Amino acid sequence: MITFENVGLRYGMGNEILKDLNFRIAPQSFQFLTGPSGAGKTTLLKLILFSLKPTRGMISLFGRDAATLDKDAITSLRRRIGVVFQDFRLLDHLTTYENVGLPLRVQGREEATYRAEVVELLGWVGLGERMHVLPAVLSGGEKQRAAIARALIVRPELLLADEPTGNVDPTLARRLLRLFMELHKSGTSVVIATHDLALMDQFDGARRLVLGDSRLHIYD
Amino acid sequence: MVVVTGDARGAKGGASSAKSEPAGRALRRDMPLVPAASIAGRALVTVVAIMTFLAALTAGVAILIADASHDWQDDVSHEMTIQVRPTPGHDLEAETNAAAVIARKASGILAVEPYSKTESEKLLQPWLGSGLDLGDLPVPRLIVVKLDPASSLDLGALRKTLEAQVPGVSLDDHRMWMARLASMAHATVAIGLVVFVLVLTAMMLAVAFATLGAMAGNREIIEILHFVGAADSFISGQFQRHFFRLGLRGGAIGGGLAILFFFVTGHVIGWWRATPGGEQIEALFGTFSLHLKGYAAILVIAAAIAVITGFVSRIIVFRHLRRLN
């Protein structure tokens, strides 16, 4: 699904912040991406999303060399990936419903065609009563769930979640993890960037990608 | 929903989907993705309104002058003047009558009006003042010849006949005046066009800067749209729609003010027509009232400015996104 071969990244003329990344994200796989703060977890997620281009090496997205893809092709591949940001990245002037429906709206779908899907998903993540409100009045946990719902609404083949439990209490964190595990069971590959060891211990079967010293260590 | 499986969905999905229909009607807000209200947006509406007003004013005045010039040319081209200068040994009165008779005989002439001695001397009053005895001065006599627009006149033949039979005669068909009027009208329209283009260029630059400002202010929105799979054409379309709305509002205000200006000015000048100042303005601009096509031109300009505003912003956003990539 996603393959990195000898990938390195540097900003400007500085040192490489990520070097010699070699790994593969297989279909229907589940992995935690971990490492100390500042190790480059978010940067690696951006490389997977191809919103950052590597300074060397090759990234293959869904079997295609990302370097050879034009903008439209990257956009269409990106639609197969759902992303949950650490800071939620909800649009402040849109309601919870509109934020969750956004990925479908940008694909040019009529609102009436996805209304039921969005309402159902919002109900499932426990935001059924909060769909008319703006993000400003949502709690951190509610924003996180809205962000997750927005990532899931496109039924992604790959879900990237950056510290999805960073702003929620342990109970909700466990519930969100169960949600990601459900997704994994239904066939979605999941990459969760986190430094929450307790969270990772709840899913022993997951692969661990550990970033340290700008390199990636894989523990299957 | 494919992504949701197992008990969790069964427990929570059912209740909410039952609510989907009644909620759906209230859910649709068609909220633009680029926030509509901002101080920069209001400033741009003001700039577009001013630019539209100036562009419409320029176009309106150019139309007025072109129309007035057309009227003058029309008036002048339907008239000729025969001038009979006094020559020694000849009776000026008889010469004038002879010239008038020759003119009346020519085809394509509607009316011939010789000016009497008193009328001819009166024409000099603005320069020489009144109360002077002009009896000793060799004041030429004029004959105004009105042409029939329906038939053609052999000007060369008439001139030859007059020159052969009446000494000291000259025929002025006003071509020189018409040429001058035409060149003045063309120059005015050209100046109007240049001013119009300058105003439009200034407006496009203002829109370009406003678009860049809006993009900088909404950078996070653009980034999020990219991450959720929006194509560049979708994002630039959102900005185009946003700026088209601003342009439409500015164009409507500016165009509306220009229409009001011409409407009110036309009426005010109509009231002043009897005064010397009013006469001068009327001589230059006619009645200073735009015809329907003038008002239609202003509406077209306002609409075109809205379209241009949206189009310029789309181009700027597209180029900016390409640079980002």
Kindly report, residue by residue over A27-65, the tens digit of the pLDDT. 999 999 999 888 899 999 999 988 889 999 999 999 999
Query: What residue in A sits closest to B6 (Cα-Cα)?
Result: A182
Q: Are residues A49 and A111 in the same domain?
A: no
> Are the CB atoms for B232 and B322 separated by under 8 Å?
yes
> Are the CB atoms for B170 and B96 separated by under 8 Å?
no
pLDDT at B4: 41
Distance from C-alpha of B92 to C-alpha of B102, rounded to nearest angstrom: 15
Q: Does the CB of B197 have a partner CB in chain A at under 8 Å?
A: no
Q: Does the CB of B13 have a partner CB in chain A at under 8 Å?
A: yes
Token pair for B81: 């003047």
Residue A85 lies in a domain: no
Q: Are residues A164 and A65 in the same domain?
A: yes
Phi and psi of B12, rounded to 5°? -115, -25
| Number of Cβ atoms within 10 Å of the Cβ of B292 | 7
Which residue range forms the structural domain that includes residue A41? 2-80+156-219
Q: Are residues B194 and B267 in the same domain?
A: yes
Report the residue from B6, B23, B232 with minimal CB separation from A131.
Answer: B23
Q: Are residues B220 and B266 in the same domain?
A: yes
Residue B266 lies in a domain: yes
In chain B, how many domains are there? 2
**pLDDT in 10s for each residue of chain B, 325 residues:** 434 433 333 333 333 443 444 445 567 677 788 877 666 678 888 989 999 999 999 988 888 888 877 777 777 778 889 999 888 888 888 889 899 999 888 888 888 999 888 888 777 777 777 777 777 777 888 899 888 877 777 888 888 888 888 888 888 887 777 778 778 888 888 898 899 899 889 888 888 888 888 778 888 888 899 889 999 889 988 888 888 998 999 999 999 999 999 999 888 877 776 676 666 666 666 666 788 888 999 999 999 999 998 888 888 888 888 776 6
Burial class (CB in 10 A: 0-12, 13-18, 19+), B182: middle
pLDDT at B285: 61
Report the residue from A95, A116, A185 with minimal CB separation from B20.
Answer: A116
Put simply, the answer to whether A186 touches B26 (Cβ < 8 Å) is no
User: Which of A108, A125, A155 marks a domain boundary?
Assistant: A155
Residue to substitute from B228, B320, B323, interface A, most A β-carbons within 10 A? B228
Which residue range forms the structural domain that includes residue B125? 86-167
Residue B1 makes CB contacts below 8 A (sequence gap 6+) with A117, A120, A121, A124, A155, B9, B13
Residue B126 lies in a domain: yes
Q: Are residues B97 and B200 in the same domain?
A: no
Residue B162 lies in a domain: yes
Between the alpha carbon of residue A209 and those of residues A10, A34, A35, A39, A195, the distances in Å are 20, 6, 8, 12, 11
Distance from C-alpha of B59 to C-alpha of B66, rounded to nearest angstrom: 10
Residue B314 lies in a domain: yes
In chain A, how many domains are there? 2
Report the residue from A75, A93, A122 with minimal CB separation from B231.
Answer: A75
- Partners of residue B226 in chain A, C-beta under 8 Å: 51, 75, 78
Put simply, the answer to whether A124 touches B325 (Cβ < 8 Å) is no
Query: What residue in B sits closest to A49 (Cα-Cα)?
Result: B227
Residue A86 lies in a domain: no
Burial class (CB in 10 A: 0-12, 13-18, 19+), A115: buried
Per DSSP, what are the bridge partners of residue B158? none
| Number of Cβ atoms within 10 Å of the Cβ of B122 | 13
Q: Are residues A104 and A198 in the same domain?
A: no
Q: Are residues B245 and B295 in the same domain?
A: yes
- The Cα of B243 is separated from the nearest Cα of chain A by a number of Å equal to 18
Residue B66 lies in a domain: yes
pLDDT at B287: 65
Indicate the SS3 state at residue B217.
Answer: helix
Helix, strand and coil percent figures for chain B, each rounded to 5? 70, 5, 20
Q: Are residues B248 and B268 in the same domain?
A: yes
Q: Are residues B285 and B244 in the same domain?
A: yes
DSSP A137: G
Q: Are residues B92 and B208 in the same domain?
A: no
pLDDT at B13: 38
- Partners of residue A188 in chain B, C-beta under 8 Å: 3
Distance from C-alpha of B304 to C-alpha of B284, rounded to nearest angstrom: 29
Distance from C-alpha of B142 to C-alpha of B82, rounded to nearest angstrom: 6
Q: Are residues B264 and B286 in the same domain?
A: yes
Residue A87 lies in a domain: no
Residue A51 lies in a domain: yes
Report the residue from B5, B33, B224 with minimal CB separation from A185.
Answer: B5
Q: Are residues B222 and B191 in the same domain?
A: yes
User: Which of A116, A135, A155 marks a domain boundary?
Assistant: A155
Put simply, the answer to whether B12 touches A126 (Cβ < 8 Å) is yes
User: Which of B134, B167, B200 marks a domain boundary?
Assistant: B167
A182-192 pLDDT, tens digit per residue, is: 889 989 999 99
